[in-house]
Structure 1
Amino acid sequence: MNIKSLLLGSAAALAVVSGAQAADAIVAAEPEPVEYVRVCDAYGTGYFYIPGTETCLKIEGYIRFQVDVGPDQVNKGASGFIGGTSDWDATTRGQVQFTAKSDTEYGPLTGVIVLQHNGDSAAYQNAVLDSAYIDIAGFRAGLFYSWWDDGLSGETDVLASHETLHNSLRYQYESGDFYAGISVDELEDGAFKDGEQPNNVGVALGLGGKAGAFTYQVIGGYDTDNEEGAIRAMGTVAVGPGTLGLAAVWASGTNSYYDESEWTIAAEYAIQATDKLKITPGAQYFFNYMEDEASNDFSNDDAWKVGLTVDYQIVENFYAKASVQYLDGDNIDDVTTGYFRLQRAF
């Protein structure tokens, strides 16, 4: 074989190989499609679909800075509680709420988780589960606030006792502007008899609604262990430039729902001075205030309380609140308390 033949054969072989490579050209893979977050407007503003699901999620919360003023404020430092000598205390809170909703044959299935972190100092902080519950077709189960946590809009009224956050089972019927329901509550943070453990069971009934400019609520709670209960009625009505609120409570004896006094009446007038400014004076009178430890029954002493709360919206989602309260009664020292708060909601 001469050199010419060798060169021609090599060129032919190279052409064949080149042709094969050209036929098998590399094709770049297409990028995976991106699933953008979709707005869910079925349950109001702020919801979006969790990618890949038909569940709608809403995230909201607030950041709060507050300074409490009054005698014997508990100051917390690196060594824990340093109690009883300070007349002021500053705290900061961060809270976030997750609300998930999806459609079912029984109506919307709702799940709520509220996480809260309170910081009194760098060394003294606590994180709590503020609420977590499941809600469907009027039934609610989990850790949530009872109807007794509702109150007038100011800071003067004391219309519930002990803790209002319970592990509960509740059914609430709703129709238009009316609701009525019943709940069974585990009362672990309330009143209990000497020698017993705080693991009571309570039953609460509630109804309320709105009729024009008038809102109302009537609730009752029975503490089965203490065999005592309380009834509360509360209402508001638009009058002039503000809203007038009235409330009354009666307690049969020491119980986990209300036992500040045997009877009490409260009133407030929330004045909407401007679009951003609300001023709320309030007053409350207590008949047979607090418990007589000797008789394990209400005392024969009375007390009264007056206060003023001012709310101001600095800008959208940024608020300031200031409150001052004065309490005086038979056989107790009068006391003045208050706080100043800044809160950014989102």
Structure 2
Amino acid sequence: MNIRMVLLASAAAFAASTPVLAADAIVAAEPEPVEYVRVCDAYGTGYFYIPGTETCLKIEGYIRFQVNVGENPGGADVNDSDWDAVTRGQVQFTAKSDTEYGPLTGVIVMQFNADNATDQDAILDSAYLDVAGFRAGLFYSWWDDGLSGETDDIGSVVTLHNSLRYQYESGTFYAGLSVDELEDGVYKAGEEANNVGVAFGVGGTAGAFSYQITGGYDVDNEDGAIRAMGTIEIGPGTLGLAGVYSTGPNSYYSAAEWAVAAEYAIKATDKLKITPAVQYYGNYFGGGTVVPDDFDGLGDAWKVGLTVDYQIVDNFYAKATVSYLDPDDGDDTTSGFFRLQRSF
């Protein structure tokens, strides 16, 4: 072995026996597990599981721009113009989960309205609990329903109440009973709106025909009302008929002693719907929360209207409507609105 090989072998042995001095190694922390949002398809489209729970949540709503036209459409205290532009944003949260009694549902609807930059409000539009057919909270009554157009007048002045309701439902039929707090209902002169009402609703479908019968009794005003509606597909559109009768002015119906309405929603194209409508009132009172003792001595009235709906793209549509009202005891009026709405 020559001297060179001896020197190399000695250096290698020295290096192997000498510890290496270096900075502490950087150890990366283990990433936290991420729970991705899971789709919940048990209750329809749009639901997802709230992370860490078995509760399904759906978020939906719309943005609406609308121009109202008529006599002081924004109210006499707002302006004296014959038109008024308003904007609305609405968000709805629906939570569902399974229980031994069936799905437990909770709904919160927030609504934000702006007449202008300074005149704005945020309101709780609905909030209720629903399980096994029972519903309790703030929600709209059956009297909020109407025909498909925007010109009929067959509902209550106020249809949103704190209520307790039970409703039985099958695939094509429902029937229910509710107890409604009518604090913001109609009342006689010199009195206050602080009473209760009992209402019922029955409805369903049978092939191309749908129907609904709604009734209500206002305990404080000691009067009630009943209404029947039906629609059937005929030709290129849908024919809708409705009739309502009130024993006297009450919180469920106070516009007239009786009224009949008809409309025909023509599906002109896949995107365009045109709905002419007509309504006749017997012993017409009109609107307002302060009502007369009865309808005796009041004149009749009639109304005609036209509504046009156009689907611009998916979830975005335009609506325009106009109606003409001619009462025996008052001046005739023309009113309507133009609306753009994007739903999500």
TM-score, scaled to structure 2: 0.90
- 2:151 is matched with which residue? 156
- 1:297 is matched with which residue? 294
1:330 to 328, 331, 335: 328
- 1:313 is matched with which residue? 311
Deviation at 1:25, TM superposition (A): 5.5
- 1:44 is matched with which residue? 44
Deviation at 1:34, TM superposition (A): 1.0
Aligned CA RMSD, in angstroms, stands at 2.0
Comparing 196-205 with 136-145, which one deviates more in the overlay?
Answer: 196-205
Which 4+ stretches in 1 moved above 4 angstroms? 14-18
Q: Does residue 190 in structure 1 map to residue 185 in structure 2?
A: yes
Q: Does residue 115 in structure 1 map to residue 113 in structure 2?
A: no
Q: Which amino acid aligns with 2:270?
A: D
Deviation at 1:101, TM superposition (A): 0.6
- 1:344 is matched with which residue? 342
- 1:258 is matched with which residue? 253
Q: Which amino acid aligns with 1:336?
A: T
| Greater strand content | 1
Deviations 1:318-338 (Å, cap 9, x if unpaired)?
100000000002121110001
Q: 1:247 to 1:103 in 2, by over 3 A?
A: same
TM-score, scaled to structure 1: 0.90
SS at match of 2:240: strand
Deviation at 1:69, TM superposition (A): 0.6
- 2:68 is matched with which residue? 68
Q: Which runs of 5+ in 1 are unaligned?
A: 1-10
Deviation at 1:300, TM superposition (A): 3.2
Q: 1:241 to 1:29 in 2, by over 3 A?
A: same
Contact map agreement 2:150 2:321 (CA 8 A) in 1: yes
SS at match of 1:148: helix
1:1-346 matches, cutoff 5 A: 15=18, 18=21, 27-74=27-74, 81-83=77-79, 85-290=80-285, 296-298=293-295, 299-346=297-344
SS at match of 2:81: strand
Q: 1:125 to 1:327 in 2, by over 3 A?
A: same
Deviations 1:143-166 (Å, cap 9, x if unpaired)?
000000000000111011210000
Matches of 1:326 and 1:300 in 2, distance apart?
19
Deviation at 1:195, TM superposition (A): 3.3
Deviation at 1:127, TM superposition (A): 0.6
- 1:7 is matched with which residue? none
Comparing 87-96 with 154-163, which one deviates more in the overlay?
Answer: 154-163
Matches of 1:162 and 1:179 in 2, distance apart?
24
Deviations 1:174-208 (Å, cap 9, x if unpaired)?
12210001000000111123333311100001110
Deviation at 1:104, TM superposition (A): 0.7
Comparing 26-35 with 133-142, which one deviates more in the overlay?
Answer: 26-35
Deviation at 1:72, TM superposition (A): 2.2
Q: 1:168 to 1:294 in 2, by over 3 A?
A: closer
Matches of 1:242 and 1:93 in 2, distance apart?
30
Contact map agreement 1:134 1:141 (CA 8 A) in 2: yes
Deviation at 1:279, TM superposition (A): 0.3
Q: 1:289 to 1:162 in 2, by over 3 A?
A: same
Matches of 2:72 and 2:20 in 1, distance apart?
92
Matches of 2:78 and 2:314 in 1, distance apart?
38
SS at match of 2:71: strand
Q: Which runs of 5+ in 2 are unaligned?
A: 1-13
Q: Which amino acid aligns with 1:307?
A: G
Deviations 1:116-170 (Å, cap 9, x if unpaired)?
0000100100111100000000000000000000000001110112100000000
Aligned-residue identity in percent = 74
Contact map agreement 1:213 1:237 (CA 8 A) in 2: yes
